[in-house]
Chains A and B, each alone.
Chain A
Amino acid sequence: MAKLTIDDLKKIKDRVEKEDQFRAGTKRIKLTVHMGTCGIASGAKEILDTFMGEVSENNVNDVLITTSGCIGICSREPLATIEEQGKEPIVYEYLNPNKARQIFKRHVMNGEVQMDFVMARGTEHDKKGVGK
């Protein structure tokens, strides 16, 4: 691949924003499994597998499944964040495969937030001035 210039950096930024299937609206839901060492040690891989399994089992094609690192509160792992177009993200805590299945069936597919497993809504990055 060709070396990047500064303009390319900006182009990548725009492209990522445009191509982000969730932001671009081609995917209805973005599901992030938090997979730092802490998450993996508490079973995040199993959670990720469960979600992937549910996607293929139910022939769902409007859900984007992705991973990211630790969100900080390691004692409540495994954690996953579900973002739905036009709605505040929902963070689920202390997951296990059955909770993940239930969240997929009831929340992702039916839109019912599973109160018993919710930690919070929104993101900590909503804070004004983060990084600024």
Chain B
Amino acid sequence: MKVFRAHILTCGGTGCNASGSEAVHRAVVQELITKNLTDEVSVVETGCNGFCAAGPIMVIYPEGTFYQYVKAEDVPEIIEEHIIKGRPVKRLMYKEPTSDQPIPHMLDIPFFGKQKLVALKNRGLIDAEKIDEYIAREGYMAAAKALTQMSQDEVIEEVKKSGLRGRGGGGFPTGMKWSFARKSAGDVKYILCNADEGDPGAFMDRSILEADPHAVLEGMIIGGYSIGANEGYIYCRAEYPLAIKRLNIAIEQAREYGLLGKNILGTDYSLDIHVYQGAGAFVCGEETALMNSIEGKRGMPRPRPPFPASKGLWQKPSVLNNVETYANISQIILNGGEWYASMGTERSKGTKVFALTGAVNNVGLVEVPMGTSIGDIIFDIGGGIRNGKQYKAAQLGGPSGGCIPAEALNTPTDYEEIIKLGAIMGSGGLIVMDEDTCMVDTAKFFMEFCQEESCGKCTPCREGTKRMLEILKRICHGEGRDGDIELLEDLAGIIKDSALCGLGQTAPNPVLSTIRYFRHEYEAHIYDKKCPAAVCSKLFKSPCQHACPIEMDIPAYIALIRANRLADAFKIMKKTNPFPGVCGRVCPQFCANKCRRGQLDEPMAIAWLKRYISDNAKRPKIDQAPVTRKEKVAVIGGGPAGLTAAQDLCMRGYKVTVFEELPYAGGMMRYAIPEYRMPRDIVEQEVSDIRALGVEIKTGTRIGKDISFDALRKDYDVIVIAVGAHKSWKLDIEGEDLAGVWGAVEFLREVNLGKKVNVGSKVAIVGGGNSAIDAARTAVRLGAKDVTILYRRERKDMPAWENEIQAAEHEGVKIEYLVAPTKLIGKNGKLVGVECQRMRLGEFDRSGRRKPVSIPGSEFTLAIDTIVPAISQNTDASFIPAGSDVTIDKWGGIKTTGKAKNKTTADNVFIAGDAASGPATVVEAIAMGHKTAADVDDFIRARNNEPAYRVPPEEEIEIPFEVDEEVIETPKGKMPELKKSERRITFKEVELGYSKKTAYKEACRCLRCDAEL
């Protein structure tokens, strides 16, 4: 017998076979022949060993090495490394699962733990096709109780006591509805169930019918008994084949058991129920249209009154309730109306089922006590918004409902409270929308639905929805006109008042509610031709460019990287951005947030590509711009807004002087962003380009001290204030005058001015934004041993960028979440400690985040030498003399006017950047600088009765169009970084920039959304 030195076992089980073990087996045999190893190594195909999900599996003896996810391509490497060289291939080796981690209990998962099941009490437990399983869970006991122990009126009384209201959306009290039908004269009455669930995004009824059909039948038996009906129909849409199948099985089984048919449970009461399949028209969910449809007529509504309780199906008294309403009945009869009424709010009792869908982590079916807030449903049960995006709104009530904006997340699920918001409870479809949803587009979607589903019987609905849809389409296509919003509101009012049935009366709701809460989005579409969510694609070339405040032509410069034409790429960037090197390092990338590549794997690394161009491109020579105009403009403040305005005005022929208090121009780019993120020569280079154009920059000159504001106004025709926001907010607690308390901006400025700042050994930073992180990482570099960030919310709420937070943690910065300082403790005038309080997250605030609330008695003290509040900044407006016609607002800032908020109360004094908008980003400051320069020019020309400025023709740069045939999932290119050991001690730039190869590969990931095909 041959002796082999090694055995290779490949798995031949079903699972491994399905994932390709045969090919692996063949590859092993082939490779052994190629390598001439057939005499030394045997190959055996074994049966399944049970690790099917990790297959194909391979085991190599004598070592017993276990390989998983083996592909045929891996085989040569395994033979070469493992068999020949004796080195196991680590990357393919089986990893022990972490076995110690405890398994959470179902109720520990908020999705399940926070629900309360009544209508869904049997979900996941019973086999819907076996009546015995339903009976084993107390099924039909309620019907038995009602039929044998209760009179018809007692049943109705119990349902009235429960406070149950129609779950189909209207919310009409169920008990009252039943009592009307009971009182109606007539021998023949009908009990009907509305399972014509047609709202987009709603699936409550389907799920109940599929999981627990007998619960609905039992509810109908009880209801039928109470009004005296002997026949019933379930009107279910044909698109629900599984629900219909299970319903029919359930009805058949119930008939066999005598739970339907003559003399139910041996009593005098008889009832039979039929399923009627609807063809799927939305209007057939309206009760009178539904009845017409069962009668074999066209599904069109008829005027009410008469109401169905007196003249319903075939003109006989009828009760129509929705699936979920019936599913509650058996529990009410068994446990009593009072039990049911003990849940919920004053006027909305019991529980409600919601179908939670859209941009939420947990999509599914949810049953909660009435009164649970919408925010709790979305954020606790739903697990929050997918992909870490921001919540924008939730549509409640489908096409008949409205949206719930972030500021209303605390609203309880209560019929009346929800109506106050302009939405309706509806049947319970809850569609969650994130920041990438355009509200005008959403309104258009629902209007399109209603217009298509309008039955055409009444004019307001048939014509009105069509006209409203036309207007909405126009707005989304960039053809919106002044007055469109008002016209929509007018039409909506008329349709609501005059349409025949609920479909028409509620069809305008989504439009009205989006106008109510998101009017600014309509205005952006109509007046600025912008879609803030970058959805309405008729309005732009590419979403990234549209999302950029200065509309940089991103696809163009990325294409030019691919073509290795960096000089041209640089020119493209400079057309709109005087600071590409700065933005390439610190831009928050509104563009990448809308990048379509992000829907596939990761968004493009747009800023890093921008940086690559600016670091590597050959720069064009800059010629001085000729002065062609007599007016002179002074800009106060040499930050991004002021310098951009100065550059633009200079290029339009004005003589411009910038006055800067500090020794260098650059503003926050130079004095707030630390050097390890923003090397000084980058700012200086880009400032010098502006100087080269002919802008005069006077540094070391403070207006209000070296030159008075009034004197400046005498010398210049127009002033642009761009002084930024360089005064840190105070914490507003005891002890802020102690030595060792620094504002973040002041702290960073001192360091960046090159002054010696003694931070001591223990530093606390207060805040969660980028400047808090900047201050923390700077303190580390200044030698602090212990740097702690105190933040009052949770990590996911921090406005700072994730990669900055991680970098800080790598450098040893600690972050304490849910903590707020309450008192600063001093000794001999010097800070020695901070008293803090723990916080918990309470209700939602207007931003849609949970508000931190302090926990009494949770105080603790940290010993520190330095504390740096980094919570926000405001403008130092002290250079404006008292009584100036440039007015100060009530918060001590400069009062802004005009639509763009870039004018002051004085005619010839404009304002831009943080001083106008409050703390923002470099790219937003640049955008405002451009806008203000254009407005200054317009103002001067209008004053002189001159024609408006005409943009001179620009150099044409041809943009190549080259894309990969096939898109393969690839994450974005990694940014090389400075070694950790060097980081803690120097201010050298941490991010080292892309190599040519990485930049090229990254550029190839662009999907070129700008291409017109």
- In the complex, residue of chain B having the shortest beta-carbon distance to the beta carbon of A15: B132
**Chain A residue with the shortest CB-CB distance to B55:** A98
Interface residues of B in 1-51 (CB under 8 A from A): 13-15, 18-19, 48-51
The reply on B395 being an interface residue by CB < 8 A is no
| Contact status of A122 and B266, CB under 8 A, knowing A3-B258, A13-B136, A69-B128 | no
The answer to whether A69 and B212 touch across the interface, beta carbons within 8 angstroms, is: yes
Indicate whether A72 sits within 8 Å of B366 (C-beta atoms), given known contacts A110-B50, A127-B107: yes
A86: min CB distance to chain B, Å: 16
Would A36 and B211 count as touching, CB distance under 8 A? yes
CB distance from B649 to the nearest CB of A (A): 54
Residue from B52, B108, B263, B365 within 8 A of A102 (CB atoms) = B52
The answer, yes or no, to whether A16 is at the interface (CB within 8 Å) is yes
Assess whether B259 is interfacial by the CB under 8 Å rule: yes
Contact code string B50-65 (vs A, CB < 8 Å = 1, else 0): 1111110000000000
A69 close to B112 (CB less than 8 A): no
Q: Is the CB of A69 within 8 A of B124?
A: yes
B256 on the A face (CB < 8 A): yes
In the complex, which residues of chain B have a beta carbon less than 8 angstroms from the beta carbon of A127? 107, 113, 116-117
Q: Is the CB of B265 within 8 A of A122?
A: no
Classify the interface of chain A: helix, strand, loop or mixed: mixed
A121–B98 alpha-carbon span in the complex (Å): 17
Known A-B contacts A1-B257, A124-B115; the reply to A12 vs B106 at CB < 8 A is no
Whether A12 pairs with B144 at a CB distance below 8 angstroms is no
Taking a contact as CB atoms under 8 Å apart, the answer to whether B52 and A75 are in contact is: no
**Per-residue CB proximity of A88-126 to B under 8 Å, as 1/0?**
101100001111011001100110011111111111111
Docked CA distance A53–B782 (Å): 67
- A70 at the binding interface (Cβ < 8 Å): yes
Residues of A within 8 A of B242 (CB): 36-37, 40
Of the residues B19, B103, B111, B210, contact of A69 by C-beta under 8 Å: B210
List the A side residues contacting B97 at CB < 8 Å.
114-116
Contact in complex: B124, A120 (CB < 8 Å): no
A73 touching B111, Cβ below 8 Å: yes
Residues of B contacting A15 with CB < 8 Å?
132
Chain A residues positioned under 8 Å from B599 (CB to CB) = none
Counting residue pairs across A and B whose Cβ atoms lie within 8 Å, the total is 197
Q: Mark A60-75 against chain B: 1 for CB-CB distance below 8 A, else 0.
A: 0000001111111111
Known: A74-B364, A127-B107, A132-B335. A12 touches B14 (CB 8 A): no
- Contacting residues of chain B (938-959) with chain A, CB-CB under 8 angstroms: none
The answer to whether B14 and A53 have CB atoms under 8 Å apart is yes
Contacting residues of chain B (314-351) with chain A, CB-CB under 8 angstroms: 331, 335, 339
CA distance A115 to B103 in the complex (A): 8
Does B207 lie within 8 Å of A12, measured CB to CB? Answer: no
By beta carbon, the residue of chain A nearest B242 is: A37
A113 to B133: give the CA distance in the assembly, Å: 28
Shortest A94–chain B CB gap in Å is 11
Contact of A105 among B50, B210, B363 (CB under 8 A): B50
Q: Which of B106-135 contact A (CB under 8 A)?
A: 106-109, 111-113, 115-118, 120-121, 123-128, 132-133, 135
How far is it, in angstroms, between the C-alpha of A110 and the C-alpha of B52 when the chains are bound?
Answer: 14
The distance in angstroms between the C-alpha atoms of A69 and B208, with both chains bound, is 9
In the complex, A105→B51 CA distance in Å? 8
Known: A69-B124, A72-B364, A102-B52. A121 touches B103 (CB 8 A): yes
Question: In the assembly, what is the distance between CA of A12 and CA of B365, in Å?
Answer: 30
B266 and A130 within 8 A (CB):
no
Return chain A residues, CB-CB under 8 Å to B53: 96, 98-99, 101-102, 114, 116-117
Instruction: Give the residue of B51, B99, B364 whose beta carbon is less than 8 angstroms from that of A75.
Output: B364
**B132 close to A9 (CB less than 8 A):** no
Chain A residue at smallest Cβ distance from B140: A9
B119 to chain A minimum Cβ distance, whole angstroms, is 10
Give chain B interface residues in 896-932, CB to chain A under 8 Å: none
In the complex, per-residue mask of B203-221: 1 if CB is within 8 Å of any chain A CB, else 0: 1001100111000000000
Give B23 Cβ to nearest chain A Cβ, in Å. Answer: 16
Q: Is A74 in contact with B136, judged by CB distance below 8 angstroms?
A: no
Cβ contact within 8 Å between A105 and B52:
yes
Contact of B103 with A67 in the complex, beta carbons under 8 Å? no
With A73-B364, A101-B15, A131-B117 as contacts: A3 and B138 at CB distance below 8 Å:
no
Q: Mark A37-68, 1 if CB is under 8 A from B, else 0.
A: 11010000000000001000100000000111
Docked-complex contact B118 and A4, CB < 8 angstroms: no
Q: With A1-B257, A32-B124 in contact, is A70–B106 under 8 Å at CB?
A: no
How distant is A99 from chain B, measured CB to nearest CB, in Å? 4
Residue of A nearest to B48 (CB): A105
> How many Å lie between the Cα of A115 and that of B97 in the bound state?
7
**Most chain A beta-carbon contacts within 10 A, residue among B13, B112, B120, B121:** B112
Assembled-state Cα–Cα distance A116/B207 (Å): 28
B95 to chain A, nearest CB (A): 10
Q: Is the CB of A72 within 8 A of B124?
A: yes
Q: Is there contact, CB below 8 Å, between B127 and A66?
A: yes
A71 & B123 in contact (Cβ 8 Å cutoff): yes
Given A1-B256, A74-B365, A131-B118: A120 touches B15 (CB 8 Å cut-off): no
A69 to B157, CA, bound (A): 33
CB-nearest residue of chain B relative to A106? Answer: B50
Q: Contact: B108 with A70, CB < 8 Å?
A: no
Asked if A124 and B106 sit within 8 Å, CB to CB, the answer is: yes
A124:B117 contact, CB within 8 angstroms: yes
Q: Tell me if B754 is interfacial: C-beta within 8 Å of chain A.
A: no
- The answer, among A1, A68, A72, A96, for a CB contact under 8 Å with B127, is A68
- What is the minimal beta-carbon distance from B462 to any residue of chain A, in angstroms? 33
Q: With A and B bound together, what is the CA distance between A102 and B55 in angstroms?
A: 10
- Decide if B387 is an interface residue (CB 8 Å cutoff): no
Verify B48–A72 contact, CB threshold 8 A: no
Give chain A residues whose Cβ lies under 8 Å from the Cβ of B121: 125, 130-131
25 contacts between A and B (CB under 8 A): A4-B265, A6-B265, A9-B144, A12-B132, A12-B135, A16-B133, A37-B206, A37-B207, A40-B242, A66-B127, A68-B124, A68-B125, A70-B124, A70-B364, A72-B123, A72-B124, A72-B366, A73-B112, A75-B362, A90-B103, A106-B50, A116-B53, A121-B105, A130-B116, A131-B138
Having A12-B136, A106-B51, one finds 7 other A-B pairs with CB under 8 Å, namely A20-B136, A72-B366, A99-B53, A101-B53, A117-B53, A119-B109, A120-B112
Closest A-B pairs by Cβ, 4 of them: A69-B211, A3-B258, A105-B50, A71-B124
